[in-house]
A and B are shown apart, each in its own frame.
Chain A
Amino acid sequence: MAQAKILRWLLCGWAISLPMLMLPGTALAHGGGGGTVIIGGYQVTLAFTEPARAGENLFHVQILDGMGMPSRGAQVIISAVSAESAQPHQGSMEGMADMEGMAGMKGSANEMGGTGGMHGMSHAPVAVPVRVSANETEGGYVGVIALSAAGHWLVNTHVSINDQMLMADFPLAVESGSSSYAFAILAAFIGLNAFIIWLASLTKRKPVLPKPTVELV
C-alpha cells in the first residue's frame, strides 16, 4: 500500500516537472546587457532580457521622442559583429543587401548571407556577424538575435523613423553558451533517474523461494 502511494507521488512529481523543465531560461531571467543613447532627439535603449549568451537572445528596443513618449512605426534592425573584427558602422553594415526574409519572430535570427550557406561551421565557436529585424510591440520593439560565440561584441542598432536614420553602437559581453544550465539539467536528470531506479529496486518483489521440504521420518 505504501509502495503504491510512493509510486503515485513519483508519477505525479514526474508529470508536474515536465512543463517546468520545458521552460528553458525562465528561472534565470534577469536583466542583461545593452544601454541607452540619445541621438537625433530620440532616446534609444537596447536591453537584453537575460545576460547575453552564445546562442539565441531576446532583445528589446525602446525609442522615446523628445517628449519622452514611445515612438511608433519605426523600422528597427539590429546587427552584431565581434569587437575584434568590428570597424564602427562598417562591419555591421556588411551583408545589408541580403535583408529579405528576415521578418517573423520565430526563427527570425537568420544569419547574414541567408539560409543557403553553412556559416560558422566549425567546432570552435566562430563569431559570425548577424543581423535581424525587430517586430513592433506595445512596449517597443523586440527580436531574437543568435550570437554564435562568447566574447566581446559590438551591437549596432539601426532605427529608421520619420525619414531619419539613427544608428547607435552598444558594446556587449557575451557569455559562453548555456553549458552551466545544461549541466544543471543533466545533473537533475541523472539524479531523478537514479532515484527512480533506486526506488524500483526497493519495491521490487522478491522472488518467492520454495519452502524447504520437511522429511517425515
Chain B
Amino acid sequence: MTVPSPNSAPSWVAEVNLLNNKWVYRFFRSRWYPGIIQWPTLAVFVVILFDLMLGPTVTHDNFGSALTWVLWWPVIPIIFLFMGRFWCAICPFATVNDLVQNFVGNHRPVPQLLKKYGVWIIDALFIFITWADHVWGIVDNPVGSGILLLMLTTGVVASGAFFERRMFCRHLCFLGGLAGNYAQAGMVSLHGTPEVCAKCTTASCYKGTETAPGCPIFEFPKTMQSSANCVLCGDCIKNCPNGSIQLTVRPPTKGLWLVHKPRVEAAFLAAVIMGIVFVQNVTMLEIWGSMLSWLEKATGTASYYVNFTITFAVAIALPVSLLASASFVAAKCNKASFVDNFTRFGYAIIAFDLAAHIAHNLFHLLAEGKSVLYTGLAMFGVDSHGASPALAGMATIQTLQFGLLGLGFLGSLYIVYRTANFNYQGNVVWATFMPYAVLMGCLGLLNVVLFTLPMSMRM
C-alpha cells in the first residue's frame, strides 16, 4: 500500500480558502447560519407536504409534486456539484431531527450495526425506494410522494428522539448516501489545517462548545480526508479556537483523484446509481410501453411487478457487472485483488453518475420547469390553462445533456488515470487504465443512446 502524498495535486490546481474572505468567515460564524436558511426551508417543506397529502390528486396539478420532482430533485445534484453537501445542512429532516433532539433527545450512541453496515443499508434503501417509486408510483402520485416524506420524517423523529447527533443523516438517509458520493466530486471542501490541528488538544470541532454543538455528522476535521460526510453546517468553524478550518474551492472531481480510504459499499453505490439512471431513462422513454409488451410476452405474465423488477434488476446489474469485469481484467494486470480494484476504481464512476443524473433531470427542469409556477399560481386561483411548461427547447436541452455526458465521461477517465498513476508505475498504469476506459466507453455509449430517444414528462 502506497502512502498518500500530500502534494499529489498538480501545480495548476490552486485551492482558494473562502474563509479568508471576512464576509464569508463572518457568515459561517454567525449564529444566524444555517438557521436563516434552515427555517424557511422547513416552512416550504410543510407547504409541500400539505399540498401533496391534501392538494390536487392529479400530479399534473399538484404544486408539491412540481416543487419536489420538477425543481428540487433536478436541482439537488447541481447543488452537490457546486456546494457539496450544503443541502444536508439546511435539509428539513435535519432541522426536525435537531428540534426533536433538543426537547426529548436520549442521545444514545449509534448502534454498531449501523456504523458497520450503514452504507450497505443506504444502498439497499436507495434501490428499494427507486423500485417502489416505479411499481407503486411515488412520483406519479402526490399522496405517494407525501407518504414517502412522512415515512422519512418518522425515521428522523425516531433518530432524533433516541440517538445522538444526526444519526439518520449519517447512517440511514438514502439521499445522504447519494450526496456523500457526489460531494466528493463537488467543488467545495472543508478541512482543518494539518499544522494547526496537530497542536490542538481540545477537539472542540468534534465535541462542541457553548457556541455550537459538535459535528452533527460525527466527523473530525482534524482527520477528515474526504468531503463525503461534511454538510458545511459551519459548527466546526464556530467552535475552532485556533481558526484552523479551511473552506476551499477546488476543481470538480478533485476529491476523487485520491481517495484515502475507499470503501467497497461506496463503489458499489456508484455503480448502482448508474443503473438507476438507466432505469429512470428507460421507463420514461416513449418506447417503454412497447418494451413492456415484449417483456410480457417473454415472461408470460402481465404483472408489472414482475416485468419491471426484471428490467430493474438488469439495469442495476449491468453497470455493476461491467465494473466487475473491468476490475477482473485490471486485477490480472496490476496484481492487486479484484475487490481492491473494484473498490478503488469504482469511485471513478461517480463523476459520470453525477453528469448523467444532472443530464436526465435537466430534461425535467427545463422541459417542465414552468409547471412549478403554474401549479403555484393555481393555488391562488390563477388559471394557466394551455400554457407551455417548457423553459427551453429540446435542441437546447439535448445540447446541454450531451455536453454534460461528455464532461462526465472525461472526468471519470481522468479519475481512473489519476488513481492508476498514483497506485502503480510504468506500463501497469496504462494496463490498469485500459479496462476502465473501456468500461466508461460502454457506459457513455449506453447513456448517449438513451438520451437520444424521446422521453416523456414527469408532470
A203 touches B371 (CB 8 A): no
What's the minimum C-beta distance from B137 to chain A, rounded to whole angstroms?
7
B155 touches A23 (CB 8 A): no
Flag whether A68 is at the interface (Cβ < 8 A).
no
Flag whether B45 is at the interface (Cβ < 8 A).
no
A123 touches B143 (CB 8 A): no
A118 touches B374 (CB 8 A): yes
Give every chain B residue within 8 A of A53 (Cβ-Cβ): 57
Flag whether A84 is at the interface (Cβ < 8 A).
no
What's the minimum C-beta distance from A143 to chain B, rounded to whole angstroms?
11
A14 touches B154 (CB 8 A): yes
Give every chain A residue within 8 A of B289 (Cβ-Cβ): 103-105, 108, 135
The B interface is mostly helix, strand or loop, or mixed, namely helix
What's the minimum C-beta distance from A151 to chain B, rounded to whole angstroms?
14
Flag whether B105 is at the interface (Cβ < 8 A).
yes
Flag whether B383 is at the interface (Cβ < 8 A).
yes
A106 touches B134 (CB 8 A): yes
Q: How far is the CA of A204 from the CA of B459 in the complex (A)?
A: 45
Q: How far is the CA of A146 from the CA of B137 in the complex (A)?
A: 13
Give every chain B residue within 8 A of A183 (Cβ-Cβ): 54
Flag whether B318 is at the interface (Cβ < 8 A).
no
Stretch of B198-206, B230-238, B385-393, B419-427 on the interface side:
B385-393
A111 touches B60 (CB 8 A): yes
Give every chain A residue within 8 A of B154 (Cβ-Cβ): 14, 189, 192-193, 196
What's the minimum C-beta distance from B377 to chain A, rounded to whole angstroms?
8
Evaluate whether A135 and B293 lie within 8 angstroms (CB atoms) in the complex, with A121-B384, A185-B150, A200-B106 already known.
yes
Flag whether A210 is at the interface (Cβ < 8 A).
no
- Please name the residue on chain A nearest to B147 by beta carbon: A21
Q: Which of B60, B104, B286 contacts A101 (CB 8 A)?
A: B286
Q: How far is the CA of A149 from the CA of B283 in the complex (A)?
A: 27
Flag whether A7 is at the interface (Cβ < 8 A).
yes
Give every chain B residue within 8 A of A186 (Cβ-Cβ): 53-54, 150
Flag whether A164 is at the interface (Cβ < 8 A).
no
B61 touches A120 (CB 8 A): yes
Give every chain A residue within 8 A of B375 (Cβ-Cβ): 121
Q: Which of B136, B151, B288, B304 contacts A23 (CB 8 A)?
A: B136
Flag whether A178 is at the interface (Cβ < 8 A).
yes
- Please name the residue on chain B nearest to A101 by beta carbon: B286
B381 touches A124 (CB 8 A): yes
Evaluate whether A56 and B383 lie within 8 angstroms (CB atoms) in the complex, with A105-B292, A118-B389 already known.
no
Q: How many A-B residue pairs have CB under 8 A?
A: 173
Q: Which of B143, B144, B158 contacts A196 (CB 8 A)?
A: B158
Give every chain A residue within 8 A of B137 (Cβ-Cβ): 56, 106
Q: How far is the CA of A55 from the CA of B302 in the complex (A)?
A: 23
A148 touches B302 (CB 8 A): no
A182 touches B157 (CB 8 A): no
Give every chain B residue within 8 A of A118 (Cβ-Cβ): 60, 370-371, 374, 384-389
Give every chain B residue within 8 A of A10 (Cβ-Cβ): 158
Q: How far is the CA of A200 from the CA of B286 in the complex (A)?
A: 50
B388 touches A117 (CB 8 A): yes
Mark out the residues of chain B between 26 and 62 whose CB falls within 8 Å of any chain A CB in the assembled complex.
53-54, 56-58, 60-61
A182 touches B53 (CB 8 A): yes
What's the minimum C-beta distance from A39 to chain B, rounded to whole angstroms?
25
Give every chain B residue within 8 A of A115 (Cβ-Cβ): 456-457, 459
Flag whether A201 is at the interface (Cβ < 8 A).
yes
Q: How far is the CA of A138 from the CA of B301 in the complex (A)?
A: 8
What's the minimum C-beta distance from B301 to chain A, rounded to whole angstroms?
8
Flag whether A69 is at the interface (Cβ < 8 A).
no
Question: Max chain B CB contacts within 10 Å: which of A23, A103, A108, A122?
Answer: A122
Give every chain A residue within 8 A of B158 (Cβ-Cβ): 10-11, 14, 196
Mark out the residues of chain B between 243 and 261 whose CB falls within 8 Å of any chain A CB in the assembled complex.
none
Q: How far is the CA of A117 from the CA of B140 in the complex (A)?
A: 18
Q: How far is the CA of A155 from the CA of B143 in the complex (A)?
A: 25
Q: How far is the CA of A96 from the CA of B456 in the complex (A)?
A: 19
Give every chain B residue within 8 A of A201 (Cβ-Cβ): 103-104
- Please name the residue on chain B nearest to A190 by beta carbon: B150
B105 touches A200 (CB 8 A): yes
A-B contact pairs, 15 of them (CB 8 A): A7-B162, A21-B147, A24-B144, A55-B58, A108-B289, A117-B385, A118-B387, A121-B374, A123-B381, A125-B56, A138-B301, A148-B58, A186-B53, A186-B150, A200-B162
* Residues of B participating in the A interface, judged by any CB pair closer than 8 Å: 53-54, 56-58, 60-61, 100, 103-107, 132, 134, 136-137, 140-141, 143-144, 146-148, 150-151, 153-155, 157-158, 161-162, 283-284, 286, 288-290, 292-293, 296, 301-302, 304, 308, 370-371, 374-375, 377-390, 456-457, 459
* Residues of A participating in the B interface, judged by any CB pair closer than 8 Å: 7, 10-11, 14, 18, 21-24, 53-56, 101, 103-108, 110-111, 113, 115-125, 135-138, 142, 146, 148, 177-179, 181-183, 185-186, 189, 192-193, 196-197, 199-201, 203-205
Of all A-B residue pairs in the complex, the 10 with the closest CB atoms, nearest first, are A104-B289, A103-B289, A55-B57, A200-B161, A177-B57, A137-B302, A200-B104, A122-B383, A182-B53, A121-B384
4 further A-B contacts with Cβ under 8 Å, apart from A122-B378, A136-B302, are A117-B385, A118-B387, A135-B289, A197-B100
